[in-house]
Structure 1
């Protein structure tokens, strides 16, 4: 009798396991793998690299993670997510998506991450993301997006990270990101941006990181960065900037890191960094600077690292303030032996730090 009771318990346990397994795959597309997380019940749907040509129409109603990367999906049709209202994360990277219906994402009010990296999207539907009230991360890199309009980002008041590198942007219009009041990270690198509207960054009061690396910027309008009162890191490497002014950097009083490597800067006004007392890292290497006033760095008490190499320093008496500041500072300089004179000919390739003995005006 005891053995019979034990067998019944074992059978009941097996039935429960089988029932759980049936529940775990209920509504799962045939080519996908689905698993369920208990308490509260949530299904993860893994269709990564399964040869799909369309967004699955049949999905577990409790799906919360959807992995659809590296397939051949070409578009997102209206109400694509209607059957999965609990969805929190969707990965659609490296598909062939060219269009997104304005109602494709309707109802996905719990969605927190949407990855559309590496598709063929040329434009974003107006108000297409307006239901995504809880979206935190939106990845749109390596597409062909050429135009940004504020209505494209309507409703996303909780978005914290917007990635738009490797697209076809040539300009940033006024109020482009205005609805994104909680945005903290904005990556616009490796586009073809030539022009920034003075009001392009309106509304981004919480932004902490802005990446404009590898664009075609020749100038930045006065006050363009003024709304960015929380910005801590600004990357402007690999552009075509020839000059900066105090008004160019106006509003960046909280900035801690500024990267201006590999531009065409040949002159910096003495007061250009006057209102940036919190700056700890400044990169000016790879420009065409001939001289700078060393006193401009003396007003940065928190400066820890300064990169000045690969410039064409002209070593005459105008460079004395920089050499003196270098001698006194505790900041780490880009390898001191890499800071060399470009002219005049008799001082070419001479280290800046060794100039005191070579030039009468630098000798005490």
Structure 2
């Protein structure tokens, strides 16, 4: 609801109020910013739960100017004569205005004309305006809706429909709102999506379907979304992904698929997504990666495979990811890792392998990662690691090694020596403890004397 007040200072009609149906003399100034930025507070992966988020922010500052003058009777009559020749809604509004001599009645009719040209706000929702160009944000969050409102303004750019009771998405869902850029449908009970649901929605940049009951997506369902940048499909029941689902999405930047029912990542699954920067596959049940699972993702910066059931990493599976900067493999079932498993990751800066079942690491396993600066190996079953393993990583700045079953004997001497000499931060230093032998149990690895590290003959 927009409230306007009139001040009492009279002035000239033509200098203060030049009226037409689509342009009343009041200014609508709204500054709305829709952008996605990295969450700088969580940009670095935390020790317990890695987070690399692109956060949707919306800041707005909307002001409506007041109508500043009340017209004199003569000025109103002159304006009425001027508009009598117009075959327009302005003429009808002026005649009523001249007859009743009331400014608010006139303005009300003008406002009605404007609303008729763009569609009124649904009574169950809240609407706000953005100017330059003029667009509407419609908030229908948690209103008990079973479908999209039928009387949406045609200039909608943001439509919020989260936490309603929508169960299916029908064909041509967005035909009445051709300029929509952001559609939020999170936490409904959506089970089915028609193959032509998003037909014609060529301006859509964000689609949020998080927290529904979707089990599968039709082939080419997103093919018209040529400008989509952010697709959120987390917390659904999707059990299978195929390349044809993503046909046409050449500008997609972020794909969120956490907390679904995926068990396999097949060959070429994401091949159409040539501009993808962020791929989140965490909290699924993935047991196997096809050797060609990530073909085509040459622009990918962040890959999250946290909390799955991976036991092995196929040789060369990450080779297409030449731009990847962060790889998260925490909380899987990995018992071994080979150098070839990490082939091609020449841009990788952060690698997280925490809370797996790693027992041994080949000396050269990280030697092909020239830019690696942070490495997480805590919470595994490591007993010893050759110190040269980390000497071959020249840019290493931070290393997590705690919560392993370190056997402090002669086999760990090179690691202890490397720790004494390195500038790499060992985090946390006081948690690096020996598990055996009994005489060294709970002793800190840092500071151990190499002469005490003996092996039984």
- Work out whether residues 435 and 441 of structure 2, in 8 Å CA contact, stay in contact via their aligned partners in 1: yes
Residue 334 of structure 1: how far off its partner (Å): 1.6
Of 324, 327, 338, the match for 2:420: 327
1:41 aligns with 2:134: yes
CA shift digits 1:268-309 (9 cap, x unpaired): 000000111111100000000011111121122221110000
Segments of 5+ residues of structure 2 without an aligned counterpart are 1-8, 13-68, 77-101
1:283 is matched with 376
Residue 55 of structure 1: how far off its partner (Å): 2.4
1:189 is matched with 282
C-alpha distance in structure 1 between counterparts of 2:135 and 2:112, whole Å: 14
Q: Residues 109 and 289 (structure 1 numbering): CA distance in 2 closer, same or farther, change over 3 Å?
A: same
1:7 is matched with 70
C-alpha distance in structure 2 between counterparts of 1:108 and 1:335, whole Å: 50
Deviates more, 1:29-38 or 1:236-245: 29-38
- Work out whether residues 172 and 198 of structure 2, in 8 Å CA contact, stay in contact via their aligned partners in 1: yes
Residue 7 of structure 1: how far off its partner (Å): 3.0
Q: Residues 117 and 22 (structure 1 numbering): CA distance in 2 closer, same or farther, change over 3 Å?
A: farther
- Work out whether residues 57 and 80 of structure 1, in 8 Å CA contact, stay in contact via their aligned partners in 2: no
Q: Find runs of 4+ consecutive structure 1 residues off by over 6 angstroms.
A: none
**Residues matched between the structures, number:** 361
CA shift digits 1:175-225 (9 cap, x unpaired): 000000000000000000001100010000000000000000001111110
Question: Cα RMSD over matched residues?
Answer: 2.0
Deviates more, 1:20-29 or 1:91-100: 20-29
1:142 is matched with 235
Q: Residues 31 and 3 (structure 1 numbering): CA distance in 2 closer, same or farther, change over 3 Å?
A: closer
1:23 aligns with 2:114: yes
Structure possessing the higher radius of gyration over alpha carbons: 2
CA shift digits 1:239-279 (9 cap, x unpaired): 00000001100111110000000000000000000111111
1:353 is matched with 446
User: Aligned with 1:151: secondary structure?
Assistant: helix
TM-score (norm 2): 0.76
User: Aligned with 2:419: secondary structure?
Assistant: helix
User: Aligned with 1:355: secondary structure?
Assistant: coil
C-alpha distance in structure 2 between counterparts of 1:22 and 1:94, whole Å: 36
Residue 49 of structure 1: how far off its partner (Å): 0.7
C-alpha distance in structure 2 between counterparts of 1:339 and 1:18, whole Å: 76
- Work out whether residues 413 and 453 of structure 2, in 8 Å CA contact, stay in contact via their aligned partners in 1: no
C-alpha distance in structure 1 between counterparts of 2:385 and 2:10, whole Å: 91
Q: Residues 268 and 8 (structure 1 numbering): CA distance in 2 closer, same or farther, change over 3 Å?
A: same
User: Aligned with 2:339: secondary structure?
Assistant: coil
2:25 is matched with none
C-alpha distance in structure 1 between counterparts of 2:413 and 2:114, whole Å: 77
